Amino acid sequence: TAPLIPSGATVFAKIGEGLRRERFRMTTQETAIDNNLMAAIPRRTCDPRFLCYLLSTLGISDFAAGSALPYLRQSTLQYIECRVPSLTAQGAIGQVLGALDDKIAANTSLVAAADELAQTIYQQLIK
């Protein structure tokens, strides 16, 4: 059986088109992943949400090897340099970015509902 990735880890693709798309998700519970994925597990000195946002800004696909089928080695990640603020600042940054993501999701949902309403009204008007 595969080892479980702990809650709060950031999971992302390490091979192929998934790697190029650079999608990152933070686990909310212990999770099993397959060999197409990699997980960054935060240490005590790193806020999990901050780590997820940080990884999404690094352009990790630029560090991939291989051309036809790009892949990322775990050993490559340890050489990516980045500045990391204090744990307190990381938590604050994660909270703000999380709140902005929540607001974007709410606005996207509102726009979709407004579009649907407009389509319904338009359909009723042209009958």
Q: What pTM value is reported for the model? A: 0.80
Using CB atoms within 10 A of its CB, is residue 14 exposed (0-12), middle (13-18) or buried (19+)? buried
pLDDT of residue 97: 95
pLDDT of residue 81: 86
Phi, psi torsion values for 29, nearest 5 degrees: -155, 170
pLDDT of residue 3: 83
pLDDT of residue 80: 87
Which residues in the chain land under pLDDT 50?
none
